A and B are shown apart, each in its own frame.
Chain A
Amino acid sequence: MFFDEMLHFFGQMASQTGLAQFWWGNVLMIAVGVSMILLAVIKKYEPLLLVGIGFSCIISNVPGSDLTLPGGLFHYAYEGVQLLILPPLIFFGVGAMTDFGPMIANPKLVILGAAAHLGIFVALIGAKLLGFTIYEAGAIGIIGGADGPMAIFMTMKLAPHLLPQISVAAYSYMALMPLIQPPVMRLLTTKRERQIRMKQMRTVSRVERIAFPIVIGIVVNLLLPPVAPLITMLMLGNLFKEVLVTERLAKAAANEVMNVVIVILTIAIGSTMGADKFLTGSTIEIIGLGLVAFVFGTGSGVIGAKIMNLFLEEKINPLLGSAGIASVPIAARVAHVVALQDDPENFLIYHAMGPNLAGVFGTALSGGIMLALLQ
């Protein structure tokens, strides 16, 4: 009698904990979260992102925790993504950190920012062929832009239920770009092409630097309202940096604001990685399509630069094309490192930053046009 009551009592207690709902999927996702943290700590892969995402993923897979449910703290972090507040704030911080000088100094290279985005469309068509809806395919395609906040923004507009898979794929491949891009770059170029040296760029004046964010802000809001929140905030952050009289605000945007937003954003992404949503066949397909997008994007950028060389008197190094992928400054750094391997005195980094920054605009333009055509 006494033991029956005790058994009933403990049974009731157990049913109120998360133990009753614990399944192997949670264990697997906790392992994924731990792996993310280990990759960040040991391999230094995107530590600012992976530590927060990994921890939030672990907590989200502990049944019984109300953090991710409406009213829970992680849920409010997710609201920041759902309401499309956090991605523009990330762009705000990025704008305050970015020197657009290399892009302004060499306008002809901006075309590479669009050329390197063929991967977006290859992934889009691939996703459609695999049976995703056109909205899901559009969101998956944007992984190829290699722009985390843009991928999140597009996903929340087109297919919010795919946020965990797409954000994880986008940020993982961005971290892996030094491994993914070089073989494609070498395959499509000759040693002589990789050794082409670029001419010293002109100095960009303060007037130009201040005019740039204002003019681009007007043009983007006029022509591409769907992505205006992102580019507007990018330009506001950059204006704070370039006017020199708002140094405090520029520093706050680049440091305090950016850091707070990263914390909330990573919590939000990790909180969507519940086993029931993440462990599906479509996750593997999305991860695969993301890789395809990065490979094709790199290739199309290099080929785009080679096509430009057919018309240019002063040839450009085709490795700059691969930097047209938006991931700043990883893609530019990869182009620089690959060029150094064939000519230790060929410093491409500053030149590669031009197409790399243009890639941010290229992804935003592709995304904006896609939203306009789909909605």
Chain B
Amino acid sequence: MSELGVPEDCVDRIAEKAMKDQAFATNPKIATLAEVKEMTLASIKKAR
């Protein structure tokens, strides 16, 4: 997502907000904040 203008330094903020999203509550696995940060960062740097 870095190519879309999403900077790496937003990871903490985005992850914390994502855990308040209604969709977070119905995810099949309950992720920790650290795991959400890790997935967000991976998506910003290189998703695949």
Q: Do A and B bind each other?
A: no
Q: Which residues of B contact A (CB under 8 A)?
A: none
Q: Which residues of A contact B (CB under 8 A)?
A: none
